[in-house]
Amino acid sequence: MERPSRQRQREQEVEQDSDERIACPECESTNIITDADQGELVCDDCGLVLDERQIDRGPEWRAFNHSERQSKSRVGAPITETMHDRGLTTTIDWKDKDAYGRSLSSEKRSQMHRLRKWQERIRTKDAGERNLQFALSEIDRMASALGVPRSVREVASVIYRRALNEDLIRGRSIEGVATSALYAACRQEGIPRSLDEVAEVSRVPQKEIGRTYRYISQELGLELKPVDPKQFVPRFASALGLSEEVQAKATEIIDVSAEQGLLSGKSPTGFAAAAIYAASLLCNEKKTQREVADVAQVTEVTIRNRYQEQIEAMGFR
């Protein structure tokens, strides 16, 4: 078993003069790995050392946690699409201290206050950039409320920028397009968030979000697959305190029902909620329809209707 500290990276080495891969002269294998700790190029099949004393292109310092890494790093943050300027502009710190950690005088503090104010003003040169800044901040706020990962925020920001470049925002609210971009990003990244959940953290009506979402997905050619109800099962089951057995049974019910064509035209959240309700009954971990409906944000009527269809599909009466 390899030690994690060795950082053995498997790479396909390419000759600088030609496009041919490096091959081991002993066994003619192309399975060559780089041992960063020892600075060696090694054949992973026969163990022959092809090259040694390679240049270490990593940092000369060591860090054992995130705070040490942040304090010793001499580079800035990576480029991000979640900021209107992609994070390339500078900011003036609010600590009111000099390079040696000493507090500034009152005259210097007032001067730094004016500089900060103008720094914030010049970051957005026109109304278009201010609107973009507002839209991206809305995406970040809603993403935080929904608890989605950083990658979804990046994708949502890219979708919004594409819509802006294609002039799809004209005649529509900034909040509506931003919310639709976030919902499309969740769909694209496979993060189970329903339209109701997204509308709950948004400042625009659900009908407008749905209409804008269909418009931008069609105009931008976003390839979005239908939402799989199985994606909602772990989250709903966890909120209800149900076991892994119930989750597995609910997934089985959804698979059997989908094979018989019962999923077409149905709400994925309602379908998942009904499957969880049926599975809880079959596994003797009963939950009421009201409890399941509250977690899934659907009505009890929806759960009863889907439940009857799924039970018949499973062959139970």
Among the residues of 166-205, which ranges form H helices?
Answer: 174-189, 195-201
Residue 106 lies in a domain: no
Residue 132 lies in a domain: yes
Span 213-239, pLDDT tens digits: 999 999 999 888 888 899 899 999 999
Q: Which pLDDT score is estimated for 21? A: 67
**pLDDT over 80 at 169, yes or no:** yes
Does residue 214 share a domain with residue 232? no
Residue 258 lies in a domain: yes
Domain that holds residue 275: 227-312
Q: How far is CA 261 from CA 75, 94, 224, 311, in A?
A: 54, 60, 20, 14
What single-letter amino acid sits at 300?
E
Instruction: Decide the pairing of beta strands 8-10 and 49-51.
Output: unpaired
Residue 46 lies in a domain: no
Q: Which pLDDT score is estimated for 66? A: 81
Determine whether the annotation assigns residue 186 to a binding site.
no
Residue 211 lies in a domain: yes
The residue among 218, 236, 266 that closes a domain is 218
Residue 286 lies in a domain: yes
Residue 105 lies in a domain: no
Distance linking the first and last C-alpha atoms of the chain: 53
Residue 147 lies in a domain: yes
Determine whether the annotation assigns residue 24 to a binding site.
yes
Span 66-77, pLDDT tens digits: 888 777 777 777
Number of structural domains in the chain:
2
Span 118-141, pLDDT tens digits: 888 887 878 888 899 999 999 999
The mean pLDDT value of the chain amounts to: 84
The residue among 157, 189, 218 that closes a domain is 218
**pLDDT over 70 at 10, yes or no:** no
**Spatial distance between the Cα atoms of 210 and 147, rounded to a whole number of angstroms:** 21
The residue among 175, 194, 218 that closes a domain is 218
CATH code of the domain covering residue 162 = 1.10.472.10
Does residue 238 share a domain with residue 205? no
**pLDDT over 50 at 18, yes or no:** no
Indicate the pLDDT class of residue 65, thresholds 50, 70 and 90: confident
